[in-house]
Structure 1
Amino acid sequence: MTDTRFYLQAPTADLEHLRSVFGPVFDRIADGALDRERQRVFPHEQVGWLNDAGFGTLRIPATHGGFGASLEHTFLLLADLGAADANVSHIWRNHLAFVEDRLNAPVSETNDIWLKRFLAGEFVGGGWTEANNLTLANLATTVAAADGHWLVSGEKYYATGSLYADWLDVLGRGDDGELLTALVRSHDPGVTLIDDWRGFGQRTTASGSARYDRVRAERGNVFPAAERFGYQAHFYQIAMLAVLTGITRAALRDGSRALTARRRNYPQGLAEVPAEDGQLLAVIGEVSADAFAAEAALARSAQRLDHIVAGRLSGDGDHERQRLVDAEVAVAQAQLVIIAAALNATTTIFDALGASGVSEELGLDRHWRNARTLASHNPRVYKARILGDWFINGKDPVADLATRHRGGQGN
């Protein structure tokens, strides 16, 4: 039976079918990825291809016009896209998260409109993290009530996907101090998007600054932040891990090609042809294990989110908190596994290649730069401690993060 309280439904899509639909698009995106990286070309066209194919509607139930994908399948596809182009994959993080939020929202005329926007290919970028080192505890962005609408003012950084977006998802405080989410049109008066991202990786994700000067937001496009979907933080984190998983696979793919192309070996080598050298083959084998571990951790952690959704669909509210804790633990464990796998793979792969592997023509350094950049979001240095405190002392890992008033998508 379809639950009429919200838009979520049990997934109906098949992963192989989804890959048959989107795989050819990913292949087209991969074709020019290295050139875009070298020249810092923003992939507007490639984001458009995915929009045209309906990538932004993966999670919308088939009965509402989407693909009906599970969360596990959505993140595995995001990893496939990450292997094709890590920048393009990261760009989709905020859009997919806002779609998930609206699927969890009550059925209403306003939310019906949002589903129609998604199905029409309208794209959402991010705008949560405050500029000037501010956090949720001292959020300066305001969402002020006006005559029948709202006015949004403030400055944001890490505004990933903003240059590709029709809408910007902005977090601010209302007149009474309540945290609000406001959706504003990216081309409306008062919106200024600035390409000032200076990270050495993920260089075309449009993760720079966004400024809002009394930008109008309609009543139906402002929501209490407290009503956002409960597994939101897990969703954002797994989306990042999906891109890292894709990067790990890309390092294996490109490193394998480079080893196959080598024609000369070192005097200490075990074979004249590098592709027949057992030690070099062992490097590829180790990197393949990194890719395997990353994808397994990604799938397993995403399943915990599907478990949350299944509980919501069944009306099992009694165990909702435990499902969130299970997801927090799984995502933290996956972060430790996937980041280690990505950083190891993108570094170790050079041991199979020799000096020729550092050629700018190959561009293999981009995999490490992109992985290191993504791994610096929500840093892993705290995760093992939080996990240990949970397993040994039973300290709630969700509360450990939530009570510190640290906000944002990439401090």
Structure 2
Amino acid sequence: MAAPASADLRSLLTRPDADSAALAATYRPLFDRIAEGNPARERAREFPYDQVRWLVDAGFSRLRIPRAYGGDGASLRQLFALLAELGAADPNVAHVFRNHLAFVEDRLNSPEHPATAVWLERFRRGEFVGGGWTEANNARFTDIATRVSTDAGVTRLSGDKYYATGSLYADWLDVIGRDEDDRLITALVARDQPGVTLVDDWEGFGQQTTASGSARYRDAVVDEHGIFPAEERFAYQGLFYQTALLAVLTGIARSAFRDGAAALGKRTRNYPLGTNDVPAQDVLLQQRIGLLATRVFAADAALDKQSATLDAVALAHLRDEDEHAALVEATVRTHEAQTVVIEAALEVTGTVFDALGASATALSAGLDRHWRNARTLASHNPRVFKERVLGDYYVNGTPPPGGSNAFLRPQGQGA
């Protein structure tokens, strides 16, 4: 499909019109294929390059793009529901898509920018975007040392980043830095060029194949269509990033529950104090699994309700209406969902072992991967700070900090 004329881009952010059943029919078979090899990849720390490419080739990276421009026309609610399903299949693969989907969302919110048509064509060709915003130091998130400078018509970028999630899978790296006037700039840099070094030095015990390690830039050339003022990023960017994490955590809760229930059904020996010689018939163990089912239900419900509030913000932008009220609502719901989803994921991935024997801790069983991944993802944005904001909002009526750029208004991008 040829790139649309720039005049047509005024209506790029359109009302979603995707059919959920059709989306499921397209992507669930891929999720099933990805799930089959997930335990083995976790054990071997094998990067899922093929699995990411399957999804990109199928169009998963273009879910939110209107169908007229080569995408599925999905709503944000549908997008994050599918991301949760992918998270249940392989949370590392799901997490890899976070930065790409956020950059796509930014282009949808900025249809009149002359670069948007270029990026739409790149997305249609299957080009993928990784991230790299957090500085590789212990300074505050707002202390950006990465520099963007232009000389003789060529813009270059130099700096060091960490938490560069998805970088090893990417064609483009979305990097934040400061220009000669000290303004925050987001710059797209081609991964495969001199001056870009990606290092697999991620040390976390979870999300081990998300390529969340270091990225180093030394006079890397910035794409001529990839320079954007950071303050112009879409208003709900921080909320989008956070919702992506919540979707993956919801997926992890589902998969841990699934694996735990299946393991209990296969157990043949119970403890002497059990209520039945057959573990699957032990009422206490049944109760434990039943309790965890309610936690998964709570996470699913929280994600569904919260992600719908992001659609309300996007709709306000589409209608050229004041987005403030919708942003406040979405921010409050995102903070509330964060505690619900994180607590559910941590409880399910940890408590499931109470229904199983010591054999469930075997590395070959792979049940530890659920807790490791959930605990790592939950640590990116400690819920204690979001709960404090909620308390101030409900007691004192203090509006929550804005849902925009995480480095301008901290909201959920950092780690």
Tell whether 2:247 aligns with 1:214: no
- Residue equivalent to 1:311: 316
Give 4+ residue runs of structure 1 displaced > 6 Å after superposition. Answer: 400-405
Tell whether 2:55 aligns with 1:47: no
Structure 1 range deviating more: 66-75 or 11-20? 11-20
- Residue equivalent to 1:224: 229
Residue of 89, 92, 102 corresponding to 1:84: 89
Distance change (3 Å), C-alpha of 1:406 and 1:24: same
Structure 1 range deviating more: 39-48 or 136-145? 136-145
Residue 233 of structure 1 aligns with an amino acid whose one-letter code is G
Cα distance in 2 for residues equivalent to 1:11 and 1:266: 53
Distance change (3 Å), C-alpha of 1:19 and 1:91: same
- Residue equivalent to 2:377: 374
- Residue equivalent to 2:339: 336
Q: Where in structure 2 are the equivalents of 1:76-225 lying within 5 Å? A: 76-225=81-230
Tell whether 2:329 aligns with 1:326: yes
- Residue equivalent to 1:345: 348
- Residue equivalent to 1:38: 43
Shift of 1:407: 8.1
Distance change (3 Å), C-alpha of 1:399 and 1:82: closer
Kindly indicate whether the alpha-carbon contact (under 8 Å) linking 2:118 and 2:225 is maintained by their aligned counterparts in 1. no
Kindly indicate whether the alpha-carbon contact (under 8 Å) linking 1:155 and 1:211 is maintained by their aligned counterparts in 2. yes
Task: Give 3-state SS (helix, strand or coil) of 2:10's partner.
Answer: coil
Task: Give 3-state SS (helix, strand or coil) of 1:344's partner.
Answer: helix
Deviations 1:321-376 (A, max 9, x none): 11111111000000000000000000111111121211111110110010000000
Shift of 1:221: 1.0
Identity of aligned residues (%): 56
- Residue equivalent to 1:387: 390
Question: Matched residue pairs, number?
Answer: 408
Residue 256 of structure 2 aligns with an amino acid whose one-letter code is A
Cα distance in 1 for residues equivalent to 2:41 and 2:376: 18
Residue 162 of structure 1 aligns with an amino acid whose one-letter code is S
Kindly indicate whether the alpha-carbon contact (under 8 Å) linking 1:135 and 1:407 is maintained by their aligned counterparts in 2. no
Kindly indicate whether the alpha-carbon contact (under 8 Å) linking 2:141 and 2:407 is maintained by their aligned counterparts in 1. no
Shift of 1:249: 0.1
Deviations 1:228-279 (A, max 9, x none): 0000000000000000000000011110111111011111111121111111
Kindly indicate whether the alpha-carbon contact (under 8 Å) linking 1:58 and 1:69 is maintained by their aligned counterparts in 2. yes
Cα distance in 1 for residues equivalent to 2:407 and 2:70: 39
- Residue equivalent to 2:367: 364
Kindly indicate whether the alpha-carbon contact (under 8 Å) linking 1:245 and 1:295 is maintained by their aligned counterparts in 2. yes
Task: Give 3-state SS (helix, strand or coil) of 2:330's partner.
Answer: helix
Deviations 1:67-96 (A, max 9, x none): 000000100100000000011010000000
In the superposition, the TM-score normalised over structure 1's length comes to 0.96
Cα distance in 2 for residues equivalent to 1:360 and 1:23: 28
Residue 410 of structure 1 aligns with an amino acid whose one-letter code is G
- Residue equivalent to 1:409: 413
In the superposition, the TM-score normalised over structure 2's length comes to 0.95
Structure 1 range deviating more: 26-35 or 348-357? 348-357
Distance change (3 Å), C-alpha of 1:43 and 1:216: same
In structure 2, the gaps of 5 or more residues are 1-6
Structure 1 range deviating more: 331-340 or 267-276? 267-276
Cα distance in 1 for residues equivalent to 2:359 and 2:129: 41
Residue 337 of structure 1 aligns with an amino acid whose one-letter code is V
- Kindly report the root-mean-square deviation, in angstroms, between the aligned alpha carbons of the 2 structures: 1.7
Shift of 1:27: 0.4
Cα distance in 2 for residues equivalent to 1:177 and 1:63: 39
- Residue equivalent to 2:24: 19
In structure 1, the gaps of 5 or more residues are none
Distance change (3 Å), C-alpha of 1:250 and 1:105: same
- Residue equivalent to 1:242: 247
Deviations 1:390-409 (A, max 9, x none): 01111121259979865883
Task: Give 3-state SS (helix, strand or coil) of 1:163's partner.
Answer: helix
Residue 218 of structure 1 aligns with an amino acid whose one-letter code is D
Task: Give 3-state SS (helix, strand or coil) of 1:67's partner.
Answer: coil
Residue 339 of structure 2 aligns with an amino acid whose one-letter code is L
Distance change (3 Å), C-alpha of 1:181 and 1:173: same
Cα distance in 2 for residues equivalent to 1:59 and 1:400: 20
Kindly indicate whether the alpha-carbon contact (under 8 Å) linking 2:381 and 2:412 is maintained by their aligned counterparts in 1. no
Kindly indicate whether the alpha-carbon contact (under 8 Å) linking 1:346 and 1:367 is maintained by their aligned counterparts in 2. yes
- Residue equivalent to 1:294: 299
Kindly indicate whether the alpha-carbon contact (under 8 Å) linking 1:129 and 1:408 is maintained by their aligned counterparts in 2. no
Task: Give 3-state SS (helix, strand or coil) of 1:220's partner.
Answer: strand
